[in-house]
């Protein structure tokens, strides 16, 4: 326990030293919190963070889990947040290789902290209710390590599928309770049924008894099923006072591939900006798919030119640089 507390103190000191003479996203915004149905920064304003979600920490995306990539995203893409999508259930994920997966996540999280940006630690699982004990153990360890470090956000269930809100809520309360034993304040993001789309259902019966709890909302901008009707669900949830973060969205369709429709993407980004929501874009991989940021064979050390980026990658990089600037 003393060793973990020491690590937390060193990380805070690193952040403070790094930020001297240079305003980083975290030094600017401070610890995020929930207030009156919104995620806000230290002065009570929505931070409107924009960044990149790493892909599953297995398969093609795994090779980009290294600190040089985190540095490049911060320096060149100008991200102020990254999302680390730790694979849980598939082969070679956390259930089979917990030590390896944990190190992939903490190495990149520590580098994000050095860069003064925020980091979502994402339990990337569709069936988290079947792995509650493992999730509690993992997030307890993360909370002990990162308590008091304002950069870190816990995302405790990526995209519940066809389960009830009661199932998601019961799981979330158990994991949140475990996190709050060690980290009393850092922001926690909760999923909702139907791949983080049923936020209106969550809004009708939200989690109570804990502070700084927000909810993830996902969309794929070009998907014909993710248009006005989905925005209406989120509008309803926001009107009911549910604080949202878009922890995952893609330029293509919901399978990660399909069409890349610029008009639909523009409509979604306009909606996001109107609501002053933060987001991370899916996904940092060189897999051949519409939503991939990188072309096949792109360096695992960053230093990418536009020729190394897909149409999605160039579009997202330009949007992040423009909006975050």
Q: Which residues are catalytic?
A: 159, 248
CB 136 within 8 A of CB 174: yes
**For 130, which DSSP code?**
G
DSSP string, 56-124: -SSGGGGGG-SHHHHHHIIIII--SEEEEEEE-SSTTSTTT-HHHHHHHHHHHHHHHHHTT-EEEEEEE
Cβ atoms of residues 213 and 190 within 8 Å: yes
For residues 207 and 169, is the Cβ–Cβ distance under 8 A? yes
Burial 175-190 (b: 16+ CB within 10 A, else e): bbebbbebbeebbbbb
């Amino acid at each position: 326990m003393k060793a973990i507390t020491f690590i937390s103190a060193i990380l805070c000191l690193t952040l403070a030293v790094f930020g001297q003479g240079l305003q980083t996203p975290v030094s600017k915004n401070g610890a995020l919190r929930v207030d009156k149905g919104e995620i806000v920064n230290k002065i009570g304003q929505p931070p409107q963070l924009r960044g990149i979600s790493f892909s599953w920490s297995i398969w093609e995306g795994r090779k980009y889990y290294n600190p040089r990539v985190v540095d490049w995203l911060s320096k060149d893409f100008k991200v102020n947040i990254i999302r680390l999508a730790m694979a849980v259930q598939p082969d070679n994920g956390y259930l089979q290789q917990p030590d390896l997966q944990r190190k992939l996540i903490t190495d990149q999280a520590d580098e994000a902290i050095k860069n003064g940006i925020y980091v979502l630690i994402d339990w990337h699982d569709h069936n988290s209710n079947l792995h509650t004990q493992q999730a509690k153990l993992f997030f307890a360890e993360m909370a002990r390590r990162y308590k008091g470090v304002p950069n870190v956000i816990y995302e405790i269930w990526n995209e519940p599928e066809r389960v009830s809100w009661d199932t998601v809520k019961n799981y979330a309360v158990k994991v949140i309770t475990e996190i709050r034993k060690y980290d009393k304040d850092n922001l926690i993001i909760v999923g909702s049924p139907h791949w983080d789309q049923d936020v209106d259902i969550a809004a009708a019966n939200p989690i109570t008894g804990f502070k700084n709890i927000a909810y993830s909302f996902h969309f794929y901008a070009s998907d014909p099923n993710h248009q006005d009707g989905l925005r209406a669900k989120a509008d309803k949830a926001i009107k009911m006072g549910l604080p949202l973060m878009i922890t995952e969205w893609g330029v293509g369709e919901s399978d990660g591939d399909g069409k890349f429709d610029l008009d639909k993407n523009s409509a979604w980004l306009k909606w996001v900006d109107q609501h002053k929501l933060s987001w991370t874009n899916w996904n940092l991989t060189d897999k051949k798919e519409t939503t991939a940021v990188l072309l096949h064979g792109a360096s695992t050390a960053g230093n990418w030119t536009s020729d190394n980026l897909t149409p999605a990658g160039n579009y997202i990089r330009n949007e992040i640089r423009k909006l975050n600037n």
